A and B are shown apart, each in its own frame.
Chain A
């Protein structure tokens, strides 16, 4: 069965650079969530989208922006990267009308040097 696909899986950037993470949800899933997980930390909610509209926002820095496109894939853009942005970034998807489980991708590991 198709799963949530995230790219790239690993990314190394310098401070003050820009990074873009991509998320391709499971087919027919119209809801996407983004989470940031630091080492030994719980996943921190960043932002969610439903039907290409931002639905809810969490602790997402102003340096970050995200959107969901017409094909439901989503991109997380991070600018002016800081050392503290180093983390695993997870994308999760589900069908918006349901209240069920989130399907997570394998994550994108961002390292800022």
Chain B
């Protein structure tokens, strides 16, 4: 069955360091992969999207890589700040139709300590 795993349930990082989150998937061939941020009790908020033919995407302090051979995506937050503390979810889309199901990983709870 399709499975998405995110590296750890929780990650604690010192402010100013780079946070690296991992998303691994099996039995799946996503056309593209997305990363979302979710704060407690709130809906997920979109951060970045990367397509299967792209290796890397950047947006301000965020960087995403996508390795379809390893079936892995890495999500980096550079110069991390306490305000970056949240749960980060990766989501996979098969691409066979625009409204086909998008599957979320279990998320990584990131804490940035001052």
Contact = CB atoms under 8 A, between A and B. Distances in A.
Interface in B53-91: 89, 91
A33 B102 contact: yes
Contacts of B107: 42
B54 to A, nearest CB: 12
A50 B46 contact: no
A48 B106 contact: no
A99 B99 CA distance: 9
A99 B98 contact: yes
Interface string A52-80: 00011110000000000000000000000
Contacts of B49: 99-101
B93 A42 contact: no
A104 interface: yes
Interface residues of B, number: 25
B98 to A, nearest CB: 5
A35 B31 CA distance: 21
A101 B95 contact: no
Q: Is the interface of B mostly helix, strand, loop or mixed?
A: loop
A54 B107 CA distance: 27
A interface bracket (residues with beta carbon within 8 Å of B): 20 to 34
Contacts of B93: 99
Nearest to A53: B99
Contacts of A58: 101
B34 A45 contact: no
Interface in A32-58: 33, 35, 41-45, 48-50, 55-58
B43 A56 contact: no
A49 B99 contact: yes
Contacts of B105: 42
A81 interface: no
Interface of A: 4, 31, 33, 35, 41-45, 48-50, 55-58, 88, 90, 92, 96-107
- A-B interface, 10 closest residue pairs, ranked by CB to CB distance from nearest: A104-B43, A101-B46, A55-B99, A50-B99, A56-B101, A42-B106, A48-B99, A45-B101, A96-B98, A42-B104
